């Protein structure tokens, strides 16, 4: 049973989402604002967060920024906004998916299950460590270190980095990365991958604008160089 937190200032939306989650066997926690989410995380181990962006007391963006200081659980944003800039902002601050209101509850459940599936697939099978330059990835603990200092990645960031570190200097296109990590067909995914790559650079590179490891091969894709 997965523990899922649903946060929205609209109680009707919480009720609908909670109903579908419980039907699929999940344990549901309900919050009305971001502060309640942070309080919940202090006492409870949560597997996935579904959170609205616009809320009183503490909005979704501020909540996830704070949450990402200590947690890498999957986050799905809900928002009435559909502009591309809002979606990119959500991804930039550490969200794993974005659903625009009004939405189909069953589509949301499919996205929830997709995130939980990736979380399960990324679970360690055996102790394994990868090292590229000063970057060290431990696939047993799911921790990443740069210069022996731990950096906190989202599940998607972790899986992208792991994919690239498996074969340093191999170039992966945006479509290849999406299809391997998302386990879905990748159409028009360049912006989505670029956002995650940029966020990864901010966490593992000393100078993200002049990266030592995570390189773009223009017109082809991305790779990790040994540095």
What is the CATH classification number for the domain harbouring 45? 3.40.50.2300
Q: Which of 69, 94, 121 is the last residue of a domain?
A: 121
Please state, in angstroms and rounded to a whole number, the distance separating the CA atoms of residues 44 and 2: 12
Q: How many structural domains is the chain composed of? A: 2
Q: What's residue 127's pLDDT?
A: 42
Q: Does one domain contain both 97 and 30?
A: yes
Q: Does one domain contain both 208 and 140?
A: yes
Q: Does one domain contain both 168 and 90?
A: no
Residues of the chain with pLDDT under 70: 82-87, 119-127, 227
Q: Does one domain contain both 115 and 151?
A: no
Q: Which of 84, 105, 121 is the last residue of a domain?
A: 121
Please state, in angstroms and rounded to a whole number, the distance separating the CA atoms of residues 17 and 90: 20
Q: Does one domain contain both 89 and 174?
A: no
Q: Does one domain contain both 35 and 93?
A: yes
CATH number reported for the structural domain that contains residue 177 in this entry? 1.10.10.10
Q: Which domain holds residue 55?
A: 3-121
Q: What's residue 219's pLDDT?
A: 87
Q: Which of 121, 147, 172 is the last residue of a domain?
A: 121
Q: Does one domain contain both 94 and 180?
A: no
Taking the model in full, what pTM does it have?
A: 0.58
Q: What's residue 120's pLDDT?
A: 67
Q: Does one domain contain both 153 and 63?
A: no
Alpha helices, H only, 44-152: 60-67, 84-92, 105-121
Q: Does one domain contain both 113 and 148?
A: no
What are the strands, taking DSSP E only, across 42-191? 48-52, 75-79, 97-100, 129-132, 135-138, 143-146, 149-151
CA dihedral 82, 86, 92, 97 (to 10 degrees): -20
Q: Does one domain contain both 99 and 136?
A: no
Q: Does one domain contain both 100 and 116?
A: yes
Q: Does one domain contain both 28 and 104?
A: yes
> Helix, strand, coil proportions of the chain in percent (round to 5)?
40, 20, 40
Please state, in angstroms and rounded to a whole number, the distance separating the CA atoms of residues 103 and 8: 14
């Amino acid at each position: 049973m997965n523990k899922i937190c649903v946060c929205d200032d609209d109680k009707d939306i919480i009720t609908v989402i909670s109903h579908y989650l419980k039907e699929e066997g999940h344990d549901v926690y309900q919050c009305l604002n971001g502060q309640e989410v942070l309080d919940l995380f202090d006492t409870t181990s949560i597997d996935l967060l579904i959170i609205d962006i616009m809320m009183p007391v503490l909005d979704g963006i501020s909540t996830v920024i704070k949450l990402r200081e200590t947690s890498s659980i999957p986050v799905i944003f809900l928002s009435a906004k559909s502009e591309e800039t809002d979606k990119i902002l959500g991804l930039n601050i550490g969200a794993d998916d974005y659903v625009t209101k009004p939405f189909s509850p069953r589509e949301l459940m499919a996205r929830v299950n997709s995130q939980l599936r990736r979380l399960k697939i990324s679970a360690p099978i055996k102790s394994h460590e990868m090292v590229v330059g000063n970057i060290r990835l431990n696939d047993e603990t799911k921790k990443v270190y740069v210069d022996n200092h731990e950096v906190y990645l989202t599940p998607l960031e972790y899986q992208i980095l792991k994919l690239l570190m498996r074969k340093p200097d191999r170039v992966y296109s945006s479509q290849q990365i999406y299809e391997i990590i998302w386990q879905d067909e990748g159409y028009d995914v360049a912006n989505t991958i670029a956002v995650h790559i940029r966020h990864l650079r901010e966490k593992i590179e000393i100078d993200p604008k002049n990266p030592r490891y995570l390189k773009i091969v223009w017109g082809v894709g991305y790779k990790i160089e040994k540095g």
